[in-house]
């Protein structure tokens, strides 16, 4: 039997003591980035946030197509936007985030929405959907009541529903594929009832396939705004034979998020007029 001398600690006891001290020390140290919370604050979501996180690509369109018209989309995190700079670079249309869920309105909405209009752009507003918080109709009403309406002035595009990965939780917001389709339909129906226009659907093919089962029932009436950061828009969701808009990068000049409208400027004007 080993002798335990006074003032010494047995090996097992020493290991236990070291473990206890390290645990206590860890509680007093600040969290490292790896341990810090990665969930963003409610309201900070924006178009393409999920594309970068889940379906990111690199590359931009390989050539400048004269039949396409350059656009941008902006949100509150970008602050006051240099609209004259964008106009001078050839940007002719823009979408501004107006709302998210039923709990957020963009504090920079007036500068962004009116600023683009004032330099001559055709502009619209978009809503970041959170299907896990309230119904589609409720969010459509909130959107229309906070900047997402439409007027036949020739410079206002129909509102867009930004439906993509949940930045705050599970990709499909806890909904089944049929439940997601029902939520989207609820939003679209109420938006049309309020404005007379069919809303644009912004999404990515991989999310749409995962969370709606690649549902094709909206293609006949709702223009598609496809998100894909690459040299081509790639495969489109079911039943859409073409895209109306394509968000092709999040690292373009001035504001980052740049888009192509699938047509010349007169087609942008036609969508605005309905």
Q: Pick the catalytic residue: 55, 100, 162, 166?
A: 162
- Range list of H helices, 29-152: 49-54, 83-88, 109-118, 136-143
Among the options 65, 70, 145, 164, which is catalytic? 164
Rounded to 10°, the helix 205-212/177-195 angle is 110
Select which of 55, 65, 70, 73 is catalytic. 73
For the question of residue 55 being annotated catalytic, the response is: no
Q: State yes or no: is 70 an active-site residue.
A: no
Query: Rounded to an integer, what distance in angstroms lies between the CA atom of residue 230 and that of residue 129?
Result: 24
**Which residue shows structure tokens 């995190």?**
77
Element (H, E) at 185: helix 177-195
Beta carbons within 8 Å of 129's beta carbon, 6+ residues apart: 101, 136, 139, 161, 162, 163, 183, 184, 187
Annotation says 198 is catalytic = no
Query: Can you read off the two tokens belonging to residue 265?
Result: 């400027």
- Return the active site residues: 73, 162, 164
């Amino acid at each position: 039997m080993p002798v335990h001398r006074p003032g010494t600690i047995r090996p097992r006891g020493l290991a236990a003591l070291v473990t206890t001290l390290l645990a206590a020390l860890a509680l007093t140290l600040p969290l490292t980035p790896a341990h810090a919370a990665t969930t963003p604050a409610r309201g900070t979501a924006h178009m393409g946030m999920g594309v970068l996180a889940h379906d990111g690509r690199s590359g931009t369109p390989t050539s400048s197509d004269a039949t396409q018209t350059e656009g941008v989309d902006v949100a509150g995190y970008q602050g006051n936007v240099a609209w004259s700079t964008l106009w001078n670079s050839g940007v002719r249309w823009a979408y501004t985030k107006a709302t998210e869920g039923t709990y957020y309105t963009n504090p920079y909405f007036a500068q962004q929405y009116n600023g683009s209009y004032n330099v001559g752009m055709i502009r619209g507003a978009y809503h970041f959907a959170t299907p896990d918080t309230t119904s589609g109709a409720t969010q459509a009403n909130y959107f229309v009541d906070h900047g997402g309406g439409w007027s036949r002035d020739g410079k206002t595009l129909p509102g867009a529903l930004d439906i993509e990965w949940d930045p705050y939780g599970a990709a499909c917001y806890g909904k089944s594929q049929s439940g997601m389709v029902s939520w989207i339909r609820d939003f679209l129906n109420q938006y049309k009832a309020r404005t007379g226009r069919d809303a644009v659907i912004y999404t990515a093919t991989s999310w749409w396939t995962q969370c709606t089962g690649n549902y094709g029932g909206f293609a006949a009436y709702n223009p598609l705004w496809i998100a894909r950061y690459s040299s081509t828009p790639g495969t489109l969701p079911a039943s859409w034979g073409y895209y109306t808009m394509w968000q092709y990068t999040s690292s373009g000049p001035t504001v980052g998020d740049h888009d192509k409208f699938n047509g010349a400027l007169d087609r942008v004007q036609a969508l605005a007029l309905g």
